Structure 1
Amino acid sequence: MHQHFQVARAHGMLTVRDGLVPGHDPWDRLSAAREADVQGIWDLSHYHRNFDPIHTAQIAAEAALGISGHERLWLCPVNEPSLYPRLSGMRSHEAAGMAITMARVARDHHPNIGILTNDPITGVGDRQFEATDAIVSAVDVDVIGVNYYPHTARTALSKVLVKTWRRYRKPVMVSETSWHDGHPVHHHRHPGFHKGHWWRHVHEEVEIARRQGVNVVGVCWYPIVDCPPWHTPRARRRWSHGLIRSDMSVDPALAAELFA
């Protein structure tokens, strides 16, 4: 993590998304971010069955207090709550309820919590927003996250951001986007693209939305590190969708756009 944070910071990234999920030592991870002088937005549950969400939120909040005092602790309680139940074996509305519980517990144990929601919002129909609606109606959410990838997008990103802003009137973030060099749908929809082209395209769409009054507060390239395929996490091979490769080199096309 120390090396990854240093590479991210060297490319102008002062805020990162990472995890404090069960099985990870929150003290080590929070300390690594602090030593690298980057701000973390921390997932508390990411596609696994969290058997003790209250304890997860409590230890994350208490560890942050011990390491950084009353500095703001940014949390994303549940990653993609509309998909989370299907992938973790929960009932359909249980993930949103878990997110609400963890947000409340974290705020009970830390005086300065920021809450990010994030969900795949790839169109503008009402069903896209059901999980986010449930969380926003129960918790004071600070930023609404939109996860948007080339292979699932159904509507232009700028239109999605405008719709999200008008629905909630809260700051909006592109909380996940990336380009996978080996993904056939990416290349079919955007012939000739590479990671740098996609980064530029996303920022052009963000600027269109901003000109229409949307308060877009950030764009997160996710993941920043090439990682094994989701369905075979112990595989030695890596998907090419990050900035940082397994040998710690960087993708030249994305690196060039980050410095542009």
Structure 2
Amino acid sequence: MSNQLDPIQSCPVTSTEQIPLTTATTPLVATPLVTPTIKVPVVLAEPTLQIAVEADITLTPAATEIKRVKKHVFLNQVKLVPVAFTRIAGTDFFMVTRAKLFVAGHIRKNIEYASAECNGALQDRIADVPFSGFTDLTFPQTIGGPFPILGISEFAEANFLNETTQMDARLDKAFFQNLVKYNEQPFGELVAANFFELDFSPVMADPEGTFDTLREKIVLELTVKVLQVQQIRLGTGTNVITPNLTGLTPPVSPTVTPPVIHPTESC
């Protein structure tokens, strides 16, 4: 009987030789546009929010040492709620000058730790730490920057006299008008997350001792983009294009006359 080992067999696979293709430059014809109008997402704000959360995470089996913690952020919502407006002259649309930005989501933590078992495998614990909050935004964020734009819907009603008596109302007759504007919803995008974290056992463990609870204090600096799809007219003077929808009550920018203050006469 031979003591020599059998030679290692190769593992061939099927391959297909690729045929080289020829390439040629495609001629392009440019059509001149003096002032094209495009519809694109416009960055309204890019704030960095500081979020502080605390959580207790149970470890089963108990841990003797934390080896590594990896973190990611998942956002459930980024919602803009306008609270102050300025009318766009000659239209029924308004620029938002101040708004509350609501943010909610969770931090997904992957904790790797050693247990008390000698030569044991590393344990893995995944935990979702929720957070939510809001911040105040003013627009424009920079000089000459964009505003969120919203159109306000209009409802009007006209009532009539009793044409027989001219003394009372016709409750069975009315005129209604509704102008409904459908706006582009501002939305958010996740940009970056910067974590500052302190992890410790609420009860200090002895050397080589175990602990089954990990208390975490996390400061998260979360950067998001707030955008809205808007119509932009390109050219020398780039402008945001707003439709002029005529309702029964045309928009009029009120002119406020400051009160005249007379000096108080002394007796």
TM-score by length of structure 1 reads 0.17
Structure with the higher helix share, 1 or 2: 1
Structure with the higher strand share, 1 or 2: 2
Highest relative contact order (Cα 8 Å, sep 6+), 1 or 2?
A: 2
Larger radius of gyration: 2
TM-score by length of structure 2 reads 0.16
